[in-house]
Chains A and B, each alone.
Chain A
Amino acid sequence: MVSLYEKLGGQNAVDAVVETFYRKVLTDERVMDFFDDVDMDNQIVKQKAFLTMVFGGPVSYSGKDMREGHRHLVARGLNDGHVDAVVELLGASLAEHGVDANDIEQIAAIANSVRDDVLNRVS
């Protein structure tokens, strides 16, 4: 079976979507503050890795990576509302790049599967 990652176009699809997505999170009032002081080049690398994962590509993040990577943001108040906003912006970015609604739903489910790790909760 063709994976979602391959179906969407692999690395090229990730490269196309990542900048659209990054522009959205940088300008969305709900989440932009969390992205304000970060090195933009590092951030885009991390977002590429994240998108590769949610596309079902060849990256598996351990829960530990996700917890460590967001711990300082949880301390600054990162919560479910922010994760909802990011998943919504991801969906909007994918739609702009012509991904259909079923695939977006599947991608959102993968993104949501790391929610407890991102928010440093026991699931």
Chain B
Amino acid sequence: MELQIQYQEHTAIFARGDTVLEALERAGASVPSSCRAGACQHCIMRVTEGQVPASSQAGLKDSLRKTGHFLSCICRPDQNLTCEPAHTAAFRGQVTIQEIRPIGPDVVLVQLSRPADFNFQPGQFVTVQREDGLARSYSIASQASQDALEIHVRRVPQGRLSGWFHTTARPGDQLWMEGPKGDCTYYPGQPSEPLVLVGTGTGIAPLLALVQDACNQGHQGSIAIYHGALTEDRFYWVDEIKALAKSLPNIKYVRCVLRGPASPEVRVGELKDIVLADPSDPKQKRVYLCGDPGLVRILKKQIFLAGVSMSRLHADPFIGTGS
């Protein structure tokens, strides 16, 4: 029986035993490739309809597997497929601002209309673009079950889009949105693994959404939330996180400041050092890092060197969020 693969404007007809890459090339599609043996990952793409054999996802990170990515050079499917280039945003379209309200020091919550075909996993981010083309990425703070999308926007000195959200934007204004993106999401199937989540500034928003998702999915292992700020008055949503931590037995919530008095609830010091001293087993834990790009970069490396596998290390550097 003949099978078909749809990829961009190409329809490739092929027989069982062919690889997706070979079939697409015969049909005239241009797909980047190099080793053609499933190692270099140049030919990675994403399936949007149909199912690819698990063997074509060998060696890929969990996050890529979960989102339907596979290696076309080693994929020999037994059914029709529709595919697209890797990392293509699943949704591109207009959204409307529904509400803007302050929720913390220099932080507003922006509620956006949620298109019916916009699906995401808590912890992911979107890129929004104003009419004049100015674009920034923001993490989604709301749950997948909610009717609207929420983002937290901290006003950044000289920040053009964040400044606009804080002073000029009004309900009814339209934005172009693309997404979702990012691999800071809950990975079901290992309910006892310890989760360590580290956020600075508004980096806490996607992490909290992720923790709620983990709890909804029955996560059993310990969950440690580290929230970093320069000084204690820069934190927000403290009561919300405390309430969540109290309602479940396995959540630890630690606030860390660079300067100021220590208290039973607030530690003083470099967030990096406090996180690296986290007691859970590096061989077991999964770590999420969201926020200040410099800190995220340093922590990612140090946590990997401490023995956490790259496949269980998820980082989202936020550009220009401040802390």
Residue A41 at the B interface, CB < 8 A?
Answer: yes
A30 to B310, CA, bound (A): 23
Query: How far does the Cβ of B301 sit from chain A's closest Cβ, in whole Å?
Result: 7
Residue B119 at the A interface, CB < 8 A?
Answer: no
Closest to A51 in B: B39
Let me know if B40 and A11 touch, CB within 8 A. Answer: no
Known A41-B310, A45-B40, A45-B41: A60·B35 in contact at CB below 8 Å: yes
**Chain A residues closer than 8 Å to B301, beta-carbon distance:** 26, 40
Residue A96 at the B interface, CB < 8 A?
Answer: no
Residue B58 at the A interface, CB < 8 A?
Answer: yes
Let me know if B37 and A52 touch, CB within 8 A. Answer: yes
Residue B61 at the A interface, CB < 8 A?
Answer: yes
**Chain B residues closer than 8 Å to A27, beta-carbon distance:** 305
**Chain A residues closer than 8 Å to B58, beta-carbon distance:** 11
**Chain A residues closer than 8 Å to B310, beta-carbon distance:** 19, 22, 40-41, 44
Task: Give 5 nearest A-B pairs by CB, closest first.
Answer: A58-B37, A49-B39, A59-B35, A52-B39, A49-B40
Residue B187 at the A interface, CB < 8 A?
Answer: no
Binding site for A on B (CB under 8 A): 34-35, 37-41, 58-59, 61, 300-301, 304-305, 309-310
A53 to B40, CA, bound (A): 10
Option from A15, A19, A44, A46 in Cβ contact (under 8 Å) with B40 = A46
Q: Could you pull out 10 A-B pairs where Cβ atoms are within 8 angstroms?
A: A19-B310, A40-B301, A44-B310, A49-B35, A49-B39, A52-B39, A53-B39, A58-B38, A59-B37, A61-B34
Query: How far does the Cβ of A94 sit from chain B's closest Cβ, in whole Å?
Result: 18
**Chain A residues closer than 8 Å to B305, beta-carbon distance:** 23, 26-27
Residue A65 at the B interface, CB < 8 A?
Answer: yes
**Chain B residues closer than 8 Å to A23, beta-carbon distance:** 304-305
**Chain B residues closer than 8 Å to A53, beta-carbon distance:** 39
Interface of A is mostly: helix
Q: Which of under 10, 10 to 19, 20 to 34, or 35 or more describes the interface residues of A?
A: 20 to 34
Query: How far does the Cβ of A62 sit from chain B's closest Cβ, in whole Å?
Result: 9
Interface of B is mostly: loop
Question: A15, A26, A59: which has the most chain B beta carbons within 10 Å?
Answer: A59
Let me know if B41 and A65 touch, CB within 8 A. Answer: no
Query: How far does the Cβ of B66 sit from chain A's closest Cβ, in whole Å?
Result: 15
Query: How far does the Cβ of A92 sit from chain B's closest Cβ, in whole Å?
Result: 16
A60 to B34, CA, bound (A): 9
**Chain A residues closer than 8 Å to B38, beta-carbon distance:** 58
Closest to B310 in A: A44
Residue A48 at the B interface, CB < 8 A?
Answer: yes
Option from B37, B61, B304 in Cβ contact (under 8 Å) with A57 = B37
Query: How far does the Cβ of A24 sit from chain B's closest Cβ, in whole Å?
Result: 10
Given contacts A22-B304, A45-B40, A48-B59, 18 further A-B pairs with CB under 8 A are A11-B58, A11-B59, A14-B59, A22-B310, A23-B304, A23-B305, A26-B305, A40-B300, A40-B301, A40-B310, A44-B310, A49-B39, A49-B40, A53-B39, A57-B37, A58-B37, A58-B39, A60-B35
**Chain B residues closer than 8 Å to A44, beta-carbon distance:** 310
Query: How far does the Cβ of A17 sit from chain B's closest Cβ, in whole Å?
Result: 13
Let me know if A40 and B37 touch, CB within 8 A. Answer: no
**Chain A residues closer than 8 Å to B300, beta-carbon distance:** 40
**Chain A residues closer than 8 Å to B41, beta-carbon distance:** 45, 49
**Chain B residues closer than 8 Å to A46, beta-carbon distance:** 40
Query: How far does the Cβ of A117 sit from chain B's closest Cβ, in whole Å?
Result: 15
Query: How far does the Cβ of B320 sit from chain A's closest Cβ, in whole Å?
Result: 20
A26 to B304, CA, bound (A): 10
Query: How far does the Cβ of A57 sit from chain B's closest Cβ, in whole Å?
Result: 7
A59 to B35, CA, bound (A): 6
Let me know if B39 and A59 touch, CB within 8 A. Answer: yes
A45 to B69, CA, bound (A): 15
Instruction: Name A21-80 residues within 8 Å CB distance of B.
Output: 22-23, 26-27, 40-41, 44-46, 48-49, 52-53, 57-61, 65
Query: How far does the Cβ of A72 sit from chain B's closest Cβ, in whole Å?
Result: 18
Option from B34, B59, B61, B309 in Cβ contact (under 8 Å) with A41 = B61
A41 to B182, CA, bound (A): 13
